[in-house]
A = this chain, B = another copy of it.
Amino acid sequence: MAKALASWRESTNLKSIKEFVQRVTDPAHADFVPPAQRVATFDNDGTLWCEKPVYTQVYAALAGFAQRAKADPTLRDRQPFKAAYDGDNKYFAKYSIEANLPKLERMLAEAMAGETQAEFEARSAGWFETARHPRFGRLFKEMTYAPMIQLIGYLRAHEFQVFMCTGSSMDLMRIISDEIYGLSRDTIIGSSLMLEWQPRSDGPVLVRAPAFVKPINDGPGKPVNIQRHVGRPPILVAGNSNGDIEMMQFAAASGLPYLNLLVHHDDGEREYAYDVGAEKALALCAEHGWSVISMANDWHTIFR
């Protein structure tokens, strides 16, 4: 089992993780938690893989608009398809995620609607085969953190049920989650478009509708959607930003022994260094003694 977490350096944080898992899996320990309640939830962007310079789902969405405009000329006069087709970055710059999330959501929902679920999946699966990160040159799906994937395996070896809980598109992540994390589709919780069941002459299909399932899976939406999907609180949570705070509070309020892990992006050389968007989460970790994982110090290797 020592090798299971080989990309972690021996550190206080690694020790905390191992000790926690030992306590909750030891039937003789006061902190024992039965397997049915050993739920772990992992944020994705910035926690399981790289989220900079922009969330991967944004690249995927823009590529999708361009591809659909290429296939269907009637879309080329309509935004955001026109901008994506013409490579007009100024158009998209105004949808800066931090500044205007609701506007981005509305734009995405309307522009992504209309495809069948099967069309969306085929198109997105193709994109993942060639799309590369602008700085590292690796496929986006290879931008995953080895220590965290090892942690998922370690938890499962100790009868934890591991779920992804991402603010990004659930449907996009489900296409590659098994391949890159070993997480089956039904263990992915995320934001998603509403679907409509449409009878057609050649049989019924699921069509993507122009609205998000509520709540969006971020911040206070995370505990709501974890309860909806899993039916109970997590006892181990891994996140990296303010959007993961409520999920951590959910574990803390579970009445069970719990462990919260915040991945801190402090390695500008091997990845990125930033605290923006994690200020409140870092403060809460300090306040409650939750673990702050230093990518620079705690991880021997970063990418898988």
The 8 A CB mask of A186-206 against B (1 = contact, 0 = none) is: 101000101111000001111
- Asked if B223 and A184 sit within 8 Å, CB to CB, the answer is no
* CB interface residues, A 214-255, toward B, < 8 Å: 214, 220-221, 223-224, 227-232, 246, 249-250, 252-253
- Closest Cβ of chain B to A100, distance in Å, is 23
- Asked if B36 and A184 sit within 8 Å, CB to CB, the answer is yes
- Asked if B203 and A224 sit within 8 Å, CB to CB, the answer is no
Cβ of A117 within 8 Å of any chain B Cβ, yes or no, is yes
- Closest Cβ of chain B to A112, distance in Å, is 15
Cβ of A178 within 8 Å of any chain B Cβ, yes or no, is yes
- Asked if A203 and B161 sit within 8 Å, CB to CB, the answer is no
Assembly CA distance A192 to B203 (angstroms): 29
- Asked if A231 and B186 sit within 8 Å, CB to CB, the answer is yes
| A161-B186, A178-B36, A185-B232 as given contacts; A227 in contact with B250, CB under 8 Å | no
Q: Using Cβ atoms and an 8 Å threshold, which residues of chain B touch A186?
A: 161, 163, 186, 229-231
Q: Using Cβ atoms and an 8 Å threshold, which residues of chain B touch A4?
A: none
From A187, which residue of chain B is reached at the shortest CB distance? Answer: B186
Assembly CA distance A192 to B186 (angstroms): 18
Q: Using Cβ atoms and an 8 Å threshold, which residues of chain B touch A185?
A: 36, 230-232
A203 in complex: contacting residue of B171, B196, B253, CB < 8 Å: B253
A228 in complex: contacting residue of B195, B203, B246, CB < 8 Å: B195
- Closest Cβ of chain B to A163, distance in Å, is 8
- Asked if B213 and A195 sit within 8 Å, CB to CB, the answer is no
Q: Using Cβ atoms and an 8 Å threshold, which residues of chain B touch A82?
A: none
- How many monomers of this protein are in the complex? 2
Assembly CA distance A245 to B256 (angstroms): 41
- Asked if B204 and A246 sit within 8 Å, CB to CB, the answer is yes
From A211, which residue of chain B is reached at the shortest CB distance? Answer: B214
Q: Using Cβ atoms and an 8 Å threshold, which residues of chain B touch A229?
A: 186, 229
How many chain A residues touch the partner (CB < 8 A)?
Answer: 38
Cβ of A174 within 8 Å of any chain B Cβ, yes or no, is yes
- Asked if B224 and A195 sit within 8 Å, CB to CB, the answer is yes
Q: Using Cβ atoms and an 8 Å threshold, which residues of chain B touch A230?
A: 185-186
From A213, which residue of chain B is reached at the shortest CB distance? Answer: B228
- Asked if A220 and B249 sit within 8 Å, CB to CB, the answer is no
Tell me which of A171, A204, A231 has the highest count of chain B C-beta atoms within 10 A of its own C-beta: A231
- Asked if B223 and A253 sit within 8 Å, CB to CB, the answer is no
From A253, which residue of chain B is reached at the shortest CB distance? Answer: B203
Binding site for B on A (CB under 8 A): 36, 117, 161, 163, 170-171, 174, 178, 184-186, 188, 192, 194-197, 203-206, 213-214, 220-221, 223-224, 227-232, 246, 249-250, 252-253
| 23 sampled A-B residue pairs with Cβ under 8 A | A36-B184, A161-B186, A163-B186, A170-B231, A171-B231, A185-B231, A185-B232, A186-B229, A188-B231, A194-B214, A194-B224, A196-B224, A197-B220, A197-B223, A197-B246, A203-B249, A204-B223, A204-B246, A204-B249, A204-B250, A204-B253, A206-B224, A213-B228
